Structure 1
Amino acid sequence: MLQKLEFIKERWQEVERELSSPDVMGDMKRYAQLNKEYKDLSRIVEEYHIYSNIVSNIETNKSLLSTEKDDEMREMIKIDLDELLEQQEIIENKIRLMLIPQDPEDSKHAIVEIRGGTGGDEAALFAGDLYRMYTRYCERRGWKMEVVDVTEGSAGGYKEVVFNVLADDSYGQLKYESGVHRVQRVPDTETQGRVHTSAASVVVLPEADEFDVQISMNDVRKDLFCSSGPGGQSVNTTYSAVRLTHLPTGIVAQCQDQKSQLKNFDKAFGVLRSRVYELELAKKLEEESKKRKTMVATGDRSAKVRTYNYPQGRVTEHRIGLTIYNLPNVMNGDIQEIIDQLQLAENAEKMKEGTVA
């Protein structure tokens, strides 16, 4: 491990030198890539310094133990050595996790799309519940959210809601939420008290920037229409809502959240760019899944990932067989435990495959 860490430190020093190079500073794309790599390597190098210091102290104590004759001193050295060996094991496990190759998209902001699925009005209500759950989760994390587009359900909730999470590493946390979420409960419209099953789909995309994908406006059709929903006098009178269609792929993105047509265009274009970028990521995920079958991050939107059972007050995460009997708290945004367990399962899977030496 020390040899691998020494190599990482050398790369860190090399990146540090490159960042101060005039050629790199003049190339914003290259500079952004190197700056991201430098920050990622810095975390590992910091732990490496701690680890190498512990290893050095262990060697010193072993050397002292081999020469020391005084029993009291030998006992003190042994106690110190045992503590150091325990610290070594802890930090080695920590570093092994850090050495697992990270998805380069994980550090990006997230775009979250929630759509009501089977179940009619109840599905739209459930989509609204999921939106509230993610809103509360983002509040707990101190993350800023920004609504892009909303289509309300006839009985409440949302047929569709799209929002940005403007926080570093938010995609790396929320990407596990992609898939079909199922709810089992008695709908408000049910007079017989029967439990119904409804579903909503969640899609989480990494926010693509201009360096990730280039889109020519010659390939984009722009349509303007009147906003709908709350918003004052401009609603249904001003053509401020924007719908963008990427002609080569047929991908559509729209935004009507802002009164300004320009602001709506910027938001819609950001979503469009991320959806086009996701096409390339989907190809990459498909290639990777042929090499290894992961139980967690398959990227399959049609997969049923989680069930929320109201009569029993439980949440079941199907990918890892996790069941939590704390439904009210989960629906109030307490989903970090589920995300942590999914991350742990994926990391364990990678380590089992020998990704980390």
Structure 2
Amino acid sequence: MKFFNSRYIIRLYNRTLWPIKSVQSTLSSHKFLVCRSYSSLTTVDNGISTELLGNSGVRSYLNKLISEDYSENMSKPNVSALISAIRLLKVDLQSLNEFDIEKEKDKEFGEQLQKEIKSHKEQLTKLELELLNSLVPNEEFDCEDIMLEITAGVGGQEAMIFTQELFEMYNSFAHYKGWKSEVADYCHTEMGGIRHACLMLSGSDCYSLLQHEGGVHRVQRVPKTEKSGRIHTSTVTVAILPQPTELDVVINDRDLIIETKRASGAGGQHVNKTDSAIRMHHKPTGVVVECQTDRSQIKNRKIALQKLRAIIYKKQLEQQQSLTRSARKQQVGSSARSEKIRTYNFNQDRITDHRLSKNFHNLVGFLEGREYLDKVVIELRERANKILFNEFIESISEKK
């Protein structure tokens, strides 16, 4: 699996193209990786160790990358445009920095100058992150169709109420992003809230934006039914499953045990009167799924098969990752599903994302599932891309 488009690195090694210091230091400590095989494009630093550059493993690996992807990737207009824009901004910023703001007599001019410098730095950071996104390719399992499952955890009725709030947040976010959204499962309770729900989402960047939402979401607040005013802590588990095609996961009918039963719970006249609910057991993997969302048995069978295929696909991907990544890298990619990833504290109007080690406010706005959530998921994606960047560098270092 390729984690990084290394054929660009030599064009970007010039430190002026990287405003973020963490990327500068990473590139600086691995010069030999970004110069070999590009001597026709740029001058190789004299400080590069000839022993490292002469390493047959490194040379073979980089030559392979060039032959596979160089022509295709260097012709991408978005990358060329980003590089040009970054260079122009750096030149402009250098010119602005030549002014001595503290000695500037014209206060109005000095204030405007500060605003311009700040604006240029913000644009540089934004463009640098866009460039990083272009250089880090989608992983093999990146897709536009996903299954988002939400399940109430610890906390009883309060957990179920918050499960419904998160369900509505993600459904609203799908509409905000212009994605297609379909409710595949919705198990609500008579007292309010839902035990479990499943959304089928489809759209551009759907998986890349939401994959980091998988994990344990913790809520801290005083329930409406709490008379003493004590703060309760409840949890909700979110799972993000890439939705494969029939070609990705082949399921034979002979490997399935399908049972029909009458739907249970609140839901209308058809509940407990027709055998519309489906229970599907995949014998080779032991995976069992159920669906009673629709009053049509055929529709429930289709949804159950989609859920089954998604779960099996996810298991296959996790097995593949465990074979191709080190234990540390694997934890970065999947252990968040079993960890507390975010806390919603209503009393303090605070959302804490534990991966980013950041606090955000306006909890009501966040749960609306619009720009506030969008900002956080984008930041999580940038964090993941930087991790992939470092993993790539480290993996090549091990080859030397």
TM-score range, shorter chain: 0.7 to 0.9
Aligned counterparts, 1:77-92, within 5 A: none
SS in 1 for 2:76: helix
Which of 43, 46, 68 lines up with 2:77 in the alignment?
Answer: 46
Q: Deviations over 1:314-343 (max 9, x none)?
A: 000001201101211111113111111111
AA paired with 2:155?
G
SS in 1 for 2:293: coil
2:92 maps to none
1:339 maps to 377
**What is the TM-score of this pair, normalised by structure 1?**
0.74
Residue 228 of structure 1: how far off its partner (Å): 3.6
AA paired with 1:46?
P
SS in 2 for 1:192: coil
2:389 maps to 351
2:305 matches 1:261: no
CA contact (8 A) 1:100 1:355 kept: no
Partners of 1:292 and 1:258 lie apart in 2 by: 42
1:305–1:50 CA distance, 2 compared to 1 (3 A) = closer
SS in 2 for 1:335: helix
Q: Deviations over 1:67-123 (max 9, x none)?
A: xxxxxxxxxxxxxxxxxxx99998776444312132122223110111111111111
Residue 153 of structure 1: how far off its partner (Å): 2.9
Partners of 2:345 and 2:85 lie apart in 1 by: 49
2:164 matches 1:128: yes
Partners of 1:329 and 1:291 lie apart in 2 by: 37
Partners of 2:66 and 2:85 lie apart in 1 by: 14
CA contact (8 A) 1:246 1:252 kept: yes
1:287–1:91 CA distance, 2 compared to 1 (3 A) = same
Pick which of 292-301 and 180-189 moved more. Answer: 292-301
1:30 maps to none
Partners of 1:96 and 1:268 lie apart in 2 by: 38
2:187 matches 1:151: yes
1:227 maps to 263
2:224 matches 1:184: no
SS in 1 for 2:337: coil
Partners of 2:331 and 2:356 lie apart in 1 by: 7
Partners of 2:202 and 2:132 lie apart in 1 by: 29
Residue 204 of structure 1: how far off its partner (Å): 0.6
AA paired with 2:373?
I
1:319 maps to 355
Pick which of 246-255 and 322-331 moved more. Answer: 246-255
2:136 maps to 100
Residue 262 of structure 1: how far off its partner (Å): 1.3
RMSD over aligned CA atoms reads 3.2
**Matched residue pairs, number?**
299
CA contact (8 A) 2:208 2:381 kept: no
2:69 matches 1:8: yes
Partners of 1:306 and 1:176 lie apart in 2 by: 11
Aligned counterparts, 1:199-348, within 5 A: 199-229=235-265, 232-290=268-326, 292-293=328-329, 297-333=333-369, 334-348=372-386
Pick which of 162-171 and 131-140 moved more. Answer: 162-171
Residue 160 of structure 1: how far off its partner (Å): 0.8
Partners of 1:249 and 1:294 lie apart in 2 by: 22
2:173 matches 1:137: yes
CA contact (8 A) 2:143 2:243 kept: no
1:231–1:88 CA distance, 2 compared to 1 (3 A) = closer
Partners of 1:297 and 1:277 lie apart in 2 by: 16
1:355–1:184 CA distance, 2 compared to 1 (3 A) = same
Aligned counterparts, 1:109-120, within 5 A: 109-120=145-156
Partners of 1:89 and 1:327 lie apart in 2 by: 27
AA paired with 2:318?
A
1:121–1:225 CA distance, 2 compared to 1 (3 A) = same
AA paired with 1:143?
W
Residue 353 of structure 1: how far off its partner (Å): 4.0
SS in 1 for 2:299: helix
AA paired with 2:240?
V
Residue 278 of structure 1: how far off its partner (Å): 1.1
SS in 2 for 1:293: helix
1:287–1:314 CA distance, 2 compared to 1 (3 A) = farther
1:23 maps to none
1:287–1:154 CA distance, 2 compared to 1 (3 A) = farther
AA paired with 1:113?
E
5+ unaligned residues in a row in structure 2: which ranges?
A: 1-7, 12-37, 39-64, 89-120
1:139–1:53 CA distance, 2 compared to 1 (3 A) = closer
**What is the TM-score of this pair, normalised by structure 2?**
0.67
CA contact (8 A) 2:129 2:382 kept: no
